[in-house]
Chain A
Amino acid sequence: MDNIAGTKSGLTWAVHLSVIFLVLLWLFPTIGLFVSSFRTADQISATGWWKALFPTEQNLVVRAAEPSAQVLRDGVYMIEGNVFEDFSVGVIAHWGVSSREISAYQPGETAELRDGSSVTLEADGSYRVESAEEMSGSRGQRIFVTATTPPEFTLGNYEFMLFDPQNSEGMTKAFFSTLTVTIPATIIPILIAAFAAYALAWMEFPGRALLIACVVGLLVVPLQLALIPLLKFHNAIGIGKGYLGVWLAHTGFGLPLAIYLLRNYMVGLPRDIIENAKVDGATDFQIFVKIILPLSFPALASFAIFQFLWTWNDLLVAMVFLIDSSGRTTVMTRQIVEMLGTRGGDWEILATAAFISMAVPIVVFFALQRYLVRGLLAGSVK
């Protein structure tokens, strides 16, 4: 009775659970990146992102206001303020005035300092430094606070990347030039590959099998091999570094996979339709445009997704063939790398940049994803 169509097997739950588990596993790093993109650099280096979601007990070092802020009241010099001015409001567990004894005092108690002044800290974070003599120096007294603070997030990283005058112009420019690179670099290889794939799939000519073998062989050649010779060639024929060069390079590097994928899909189309069309007097070009292209749409769309994602995320090819030292052309990936700083320590920018640059590929993916699954099976099922 178990195998009657329509009833659910007990294993379904196991399947669902393992799917959920796998999805979470895959999403885990992305969630971490996402949470980090809302944290400051100091928060990221102090605690892991998983701790950012809950109230945590933190040890903070706070400086009281500078001695120049002191006021004379009843013959006593006083500085007042609140330690939570720079941090989100929390609850103080204990505190101290020396790095050696950071939890020497309870809230409400008064600490005597070596120079004769005293510090009082209340549970709400307000402090008072008192001294009989005038206080000097340029830095305020350090107060070590152990406090439980609620989660704290900031939009500052996104603001810095998108709206900071120093970056916004560069980001906009990079965004448009990335589109200028990716759109032709996606369309050109599809155009060429579709023609080639049709010829390799349906036109009889000597050496066809050998050509197909060559294309498959090109799939395994790493593109790094071609960087310097190709750039030399571009310089020699006068293209130099620029959009035309990077389009040609992306086209060349994308073609083997495109031809291979499309040819395998087209070979799987029913022979009868094509033969009928031939009998009715259609030329090869008519067959290609009227029959093959519409039928191959899933394969074309799925290759378009691949090629778009790869050119969008590309840094290497753009660096070699596009970006010259005049600084007039750039791409998003490179703009982001520049923002990471000379020594690359700005993790918060990296996390934020990842989400900003992801936006366009996600839109493209969702627009075309229904073709992706069909296209992925391209050529594998007859």
Chain B
Amino acid sequence: MTRSLWASVAAFALIAGSASAELKFTPGEGPFSWDSYNEWAANAPDLSGQTVTVSGPWLNPEDGFFRDVLAYFAEATGAEAVYTGSDSFEQQIVIDAEAGSAPNIAVFPQPGLAAVLAAKGQMTPLGDEMRQWVQDNYSAGQSWVDLGTYPDENGDPQFYGFFYNVNLKSLVWYSPDNFDDAGYEVPTTMEELKALTEQIAADGETPWCIGLGSGAATGWPATDWVEDMMLRTQPPEVYDQWVTNEIPFNDPRVIEAIEEYGWFARNDDFVSGGAGAVASTDFRDSPKGLFTSPPQCYMHRQASFATAFFPEGVVPGEDAEFFYFPAFAEKDLGSPVLGGGTVLAITDPTPAAIELMKFLTLPIASEVFMNQSGFLAPHKGVNLDAYKDGILRKQGEILLDATTFRFDGSDLMPAAVGAGTFWTGMVEYTGGKDAKAVADEIQSSWDALK
């Protein structure tokens, strides 16, 4: 009995070890850019026997999609490319880099964290060639270059990482059928959006579902609201000064943006469950209110990944649609777009890791991922037909057309503020605390870091 158990364990281990990744899509077929892949593959060095390790925050099911991407790298070079995901990636990469057991490539969900590692000399610059590539091939290239450039341990700015998998945050989700039933029109300006909000409330219905709950990260959805409001009430330069603390957090312009958010979230008639329920509703459960019977709310402001939390059976693009979170008509600030994303950087350089980074710049590396998931590519070279559905393609086009793209400000602020007091402050503000008092507290926590 024991012997057969061990035999089966051994057999299992053999099978597990020998299983090789299969290619998800047959080369030459589908809406993928095979030409550039073949060209790269023909010149790719033979890396048989080498292993490249990649760590990042993607878990089920995105980890599988990324492994599908890596399979094409393995196919062309013979190297083994391994991805491991972690829900506490932000903590683990710090421990591993500090102790000297970092993966070859890290996928940072926050540029601020990458900057911290760069400043300790734990990352390897990608060089001028790669910077030029991002500059030329990404829409609004310079802003992506800036987001991937951090000072090294000597304080000299270097280009460390490029963005892969971006999401759009300035979106409002709604059910077109419910809008039809009630006779509401999609608003195109912030004034119209506010009028619609008031009209829905006057009809005795609830306009918004807002949920800030997210375990230890509770409050972050509200920071996105405030950042969007900041971009809609002030020019982008002011936004940049705000995230670097050149203007203080308790500046009247910031407080104005917080109060614009409060106009929506702190009115019992405007949010599902009343203002008191906003902070305790989980952000993952919140969008489900759009599709209940009767609808708990008519609109939900959330990033492109909101579709992951729609109830089973809801087809994005048919049962659920989005509109761009509009700008004020009277303010003439264009159509600013807020987004987030993950940045790829080398934390342990080997020739195979550098080759993998080259592979990930190919359109195919984005297309295989975006064909299966809510992945948006800022890469101008990707085939838009590869998007999983029309709704993602539409978002991809918004991203490529964006004149003003700004990154999620809370991810750019120091972690103690952007992933700390800003979150908790927004929960307190939503709970009824004065905006000025909250902003003062956040500023003093920022001062304490200097």
Contacts and interface: CB of A to CB of B under 8 A. Distances in A.
Contacts, number: 126
A139 interface: yes
Given A59-B292, A228-B95, A235 B57 contact: no
Interface string A50-64: 000000000111010
B374 to A, nearest CB: 10
A198 interface: no
A344 interface: yes
Contacts of A169: 16
B60 A338 contact: yes
Given A59-B293, A232-B100, A345 B309 contact: yes
Secondary structure of the A contact surface, majority rule: mixed
Contacts of B95: 227-228, 231, 320
Nearest to A97: B181
Contacts of B335: none
B181 A99 contact: yes
A342 B54 CA distance: 16
Contacts of B245: none
A235 B87 contact: no
A379 B222 CA distance: 54
B84 A323 contact: yes
Interface in B23-52: 51
Given A59-B293, A60-B293, A98-B181, A166 B82 contact: no
Interface in A126-156: 138-139, 142, 144-146
A292 interface: no
A251 to B, nearest CB: 19
A289 interface: no
A21 B389 CA distance: 54
Nearest to A42: B311
Most chain A CB neighbours (cut-off 10 Å) among B54, B84, B305: B84
A319 B88 contact: yes
Nearest to B54: A325
A139 B182 contact: no
Interface string B38-81: 00000000000001011101111111100000000000000000
Contacts of B61: 341
A341 B16 CA distance: 23
B396 interface: no
A176 interface: yes
B353 to A, nearest CB: 11
B215 A327 contact: no
A213 B12 CA distance: 48
A240 B99 CA distance: 10
Interface string B285-298: 10010011111000
Interface string A98-119: 1110100000000000000000
B285 A341 contact: no
Contacts of B59: 337-342
Contacts of A99: 175, 177-178, 181-182, 293-295
Nearest to A41: B312
Interface of A: 40-42, 45-46, 59-61, 63, 86, 98-100, 102, 138-139, 142, 144-146, 166, 169, 172-173, 176, 227-228, 231-232, 235, 240-241, 319-320, 323-327, 334, 337-345
Closest 6 CB pairs of A and B: A325-B103, A345-B284, A325-B53, A231-B99, A59-B293, A327-B84
